[in-house]
Amino acid sequence: MPDVVVVIGAGSIGQAIARRVSAGRHVVLADLQADNAEAAAHVLHDAGFDVSTATVDVSSRASVRALVEVAINRGDVVGVIHAAGVSPSQAPPAVILAVDLLALSMLQPERVTDPLHAYQLAKRGNSLRVKAEAVRWGRRGARVNTISPGIVITPLANDELSGPRGPGHRRMIDVCPVGRAGTPDEIGALAAFVMGRDGAFITAATS
């Protein structure tokens, strides 16, 4: 059976990382929207990748477990790319926390009422979770890292740039040391390093 890479989130960044790490492997491309997964799979297939699709709701433990079964039936899972998420302009706080972070008792809807605050908490929460999970998964020979690159031009970022927080996002780009936003391919290159042999010592890190 082939080595398998699981990509959760069929957007620009998930696809860019998959292109860098999935040659010669089977890609299980999962998304909440089946149409999104199928469209992305078509592009990857036409580029020479071996791809199948699945649907997954990352806010549902049962749905994630079902995806695990799909993936392990395809072969040996050697990498998981979790690129699903929603932005402050796309969803209310409760949905952002459920999709981007999962449920925590301290993050009740009445405590987090601003979608940008919810998004910030989700980013920080995932960074801390990676540090903790890396210890547990390290005992099984696996590594866990997260990439928090700032503004990368994707449909999600474009929603923010054209939304009510657009001026603030453009200011973040203006004051960024490199003077511009990132591209999905640049994130793909970083992920390929972290997931590859050259990054084999890196775990519990936020890049």
Across the range 200-204, mean pLDDT stands at 97
* Listed residues 49, 84, 119: the one ending a domain: 84
Same domain, 52 and 4: yes
* CATH code for position 107: 3.40.50.720
Same domain, 71 and 168: no
What are 110's two structure tokens?
Answer: 């009445």
In eight-state DSSP terms, residue 33 is S
Across the range 132-150, mean pLDDT stands at 95
Same domain, 22 and 70: yes
Same domain, 14 and 57: yes
Q: What is the pTM of this model?
A: 0.92
For residue 131, the Cα-to-chain-centroid distance in whole angstroms is: 16
Each residue's pLDDT tens digit, 65-119:
999 999 999 999 999 999 999 888 889 999 999 998 877 777 777 889 999 899 9
Residue-level pLDDT at 72: 98
CA dihedral of residues 123, 127, 129, 130 (deg, nearest 10): 130
Q: Which residue has the tokens 């297939």?
A: 45
CB 166 within 8 A of CB 116: no
Please state, in angstroms and as integers, the Cα–Cα distance from residue 31 to each residue in 24, 86, 195, following that order: 22, 12, 21
Same domain, 29 and 42: yes
Residue-level pLDDT at 37: 98
Across the range 28-38, mean pLDDT stands at 98
Across the range 149-174, mean pLDDT stands at 92
CA-angle at 125, arms to 115 and 108, nearest 5°? 55
Residue-level pLDDT at 157: 92
Q: Provide the domain limits for residue 200.
A: 86-207
Residue-level pLDDT at 3: 98
Q: Rounded distance, CA 117 to CA 84, Å?
A: 18
Number of domains in the chain: 2
Same domain, 66 and 93: no
Same domain, 23 and 107: no
